Amino acid sequence: MKKSANPLLRIDLQRWRMRVVMILLFGGFAALTARATYLQTWQTDFLNKEGGKRANRVVEIPAHRGMITDRRGEPLAISTPVESVWINPQEAQATPQQIQALATLLDIDPDELRRDFSDKKKSFVYLRRQLPPEIATSITALGIKGLSTTPEYRRYYPSGEVMAQVLGVTGVEDRGLEGLEFVYQSWLEGEPGAKRVLKDRLGNTVEDLELLRLPKHGRDLTLSINLQLQYLAYRELADALTRNQAQAGAIIVLDVRSGEVLALVNLPAFNPNNRTTMTRGRSRNRAVSDVYEPGSTMKPFLVAAALEAGTVTPETRIDTGPGWFMVGDKRIADVHPKGNLSVAEAIMVSSNVATAKIALDMKSEDYWRLLNHVGFGAQPNAGLASEASGRLRPYASWRPIEKATMAYGHGMSVSLLQLARAYAAIATDGILPPVTVVKRHEAPVGQRVMSIKTARAVRDMLELVTQEGGTAPQARVMGYRVAGKTGTAHKLVEGRYAADKYIASFVGIAPASNPRLVTAVMIDEPNGTQYYGGLVAAPVFSGVMTSALRLLAVPPDAPFKSLTTEPMEAVGEAT
């Protein structure tokens, strides 16, 4: 009989197979137990290390930039918390409904969003930077796999376009790109901290494990700017540009005792909170970076140099003849002939002929030396971005006609900041103060650039300019004595003087008896019925200086009487 035909033998074979299977199963369990025991006993450190690589992460704790404030603590630039949204396309998964909802929250094209999700070659893609926290919360609530948010900071400027060119802007990485944000980047920027966290496989933070380094926030920066005065200057300048149909303008208010810039306004401007309004022309700090021929505002320095050299006195008489004279084949002329003038009267009526004759009678070196000492041809070093040096050529290269025209501000270029600082030397009895846009806590040590006698004599002459018969009676301020000088110069366009384009300016000092402030005003291309500095820029000075003196509670030094005056024609400053 065959064994296969015996039922008992078939039952024994089934039992043998069962035993083999059981032995294999128990053997496998024994091997797994032995392996687990080995790994957990002798390979603990290795396993912990490998597990940590997959779950433990060191993440950055962002640090915000320091705040920028005005001299009274009013915030000018602050950092606000925002969120940036990003995905890992290799892990990201989203339904069509989630894509549509996310596109709506991010305000982007759904098709573009789908392309970002489908690009599996990338492991990191920003969807949107610097979103408000409430929008980021709504996005997280969609529950999209592979989508994460990162906390960041965004700069906000409460004063908007009023301080735009001075402060500048930061980029999406919170680094300064323009203005003071750029200049003081190392001061304002913070150092991010770090912490170790436990994350799940989707990248979500499960637990904070260890604080590795605390974030170090940026240091605050206190400016010398008085925001109230800044707003007042902005309003006056904006009104003047509208009234005179001008292309641009700038104002600087300088405290001559401390050298601090109390207001610095440029127009047109832009809103730093809305970068779509930011263009190259609007973002430029004209008062600091743009240079122009200053025109007759240079005449006080020519006279100061002549007084220092002993060439003239305030009473020296100068015959202006028919109102013009020739230097070589070039004609120097006044708008109207003024006959015989004293030096003081020449400043009062802004005579080109008189000041040119003074210049020709003195050494070029004497005039150049004073211009150099008061800061022309060098950066003011006020702590602002893109400070211009201007142009002051060596005196050895001056030809007679150039020497004559430089008496009334042609053949050289200056910035409005340089001009304001130079007038501060006249206001402080001959000491040139170091200027700054950062608040000072101690009085600075200036440099003497002219004698007390010369500075006071020039200041007395400048006070005549704002009286009846001078070129700027509209610069007067009720209750205060004002000294100043007008300037009206043809604008250089492609290397040539444009016949119908002007830059009108006025720089003034108040109170003249005990100076506290210098205010410089520049109006670029006034296109209204008037273009003279005494009619265009002087009224702006009056409005700003009136507000500034009262805001700073500066004691009056003149009777309070009506300043009503008939608009007068400028009498010789057009050059």
Asked which of 132-136, 183-187, 257-261 is least confident by mean pLDDT, the reply is 132-136
pLDDT of residue 571: 46
pLDDT of residue 37: 74
pLDDT of residue 7: 60
pLDDT above 70: residue 185: yes
pLDDT above 80: residue 212: no
pLDDT above 60: residue 115: yes
Same domain, 303 and 405: yes
Residues 545/472, Cβ–Cβ less than 8 Å: no
pLDDT above 60: residue 51: no
pLDDT of residue 553: 95
Residue 570 falls inside a structural domain: no
pLDDT of residue 296: 95
Same domain, 161 and 237: no
Residues 288/483, Cβ–Cβ less than 8 Å: no
Residue, of 263 and 211, whose pLDDT is higher: 263
Same domain, 291 and 413: yes
Residues 166/382, Cβ–Cβ less than 8 Å: no
pLDDT of residue 563: 64
Task: For residue 266, give the nearest of 283, 279, 278, 280 by alpha carbon.
Answer: 283
- What's the whole-number average pLDDT of the chain? 88
Residue, of 528 and 432, whose pLDDT is higher: 432
- Give exposure, 237-250, as e/b (b: 16+ Cβ within 10 Å): bbebbeebebbbbb
Under the banding of pLDDT at 50, 70 and 90, the label for residue 38 is low
Residue 264 falls inside a structural domain: yes
How much of the chain, in percent, has pLDDT values that exceed 70? 89
Same domain, 89 and 236: no
Average pLDDT over residues 393-411: 94
Q: Whole-angstrom Cα distance, residue 348 to residue 339?
A: 14
pLDDT of residue 5: 57
Residue 138 falls inside a structural domain: yes
Residue 413 falls inside a structural domain: yes
Same domain, 482 and 444: yes
Asked which of 142-146, 391-395, 427-431 is least confident by mean pLDDT, the reply is 142-146
> Tens digit of pLDDT for each residue in 271-284?
999 888 888 889 99
pLDDT above 60: residue 207: no
Same domain, 154 and 294: no
CATH of the domain at 422: 3.40.710.10
Task: For residue 570, give the nearest of 349, 347, 320, 407 by alpha carbon.
Answer: 349
Any idea what DSSP says for residue 438?
B
Give the gyration radius of the chain's Cα atoms: 37
pLDDT of residue 529: 85
Final residue of a domain: which of 206, 222, 238? 222
Domain with 103 in it:
59-222
283 is catalytic: no
Residues 446/259, Cβ–Cβ less than 8 Å: yes
Q: Given the structure tokens 């020449």, which residue do they identify?
A: 346
pLDDT above 70: residue 534: yes
| Distances 253 to 520, 521, 550 between C-alpha atoms, Å | 7, 9, 14
Same domain, 133 and 266: no
pLDDT of residue 368: 97
Residue, of 49 and 361, whose pLDDT is higher: 361
Average pLDDT over residues 409-420: 96
Residue 464 falls inside a structural domain: yes
Same domain, 405 and 460: yes
pLDDT of residue 400: 94
pLDDT above 70: residue 203: no
pLDDT of residue 206: 59
CATH of the domain at 209: 3.90.1310.10
Residue 341 falls inside a structural domain: yes
Same domain, 116 and 261: no
205-213 sheet: strands from edge to edge: 56-61, 193-199, 205-213
Total structural domains in the chain?
2
Same domain, 116 and 174: yes
Q: Where are the alpha helices (DSSP H) in 443-551?
A: 452-465, 533-536, 538-551
Average pLDDT over residues 73-100: 90
Final residue of a domain: which of 222, 238, 265? 222
Under the banding of pLDDT at 50, 70 and 90, the label for residue 59 is low
pLDDT of residue 63: 81
Q: Whole-angstrom Cα distance, residue 71 to residue 52?
A: 51
Under the banding of pLDDT at 50, 70 and 90, the label for residue 306 is very high
Under the banding of pLDDT at 50, 70 and 90, the label for residue 567 is very low
Residue 52 falls inside a structural domain: no
Final residue of a domain: which of 160, 189, 222? 222
Same domain, 382 and 476: yes
Catalytic residue among 296, 364, 413, 415: 296
pLDDT of residue 199: 62
Residue 538 falls inside a structural domain: yes
Same domain, 396 and 476: yes
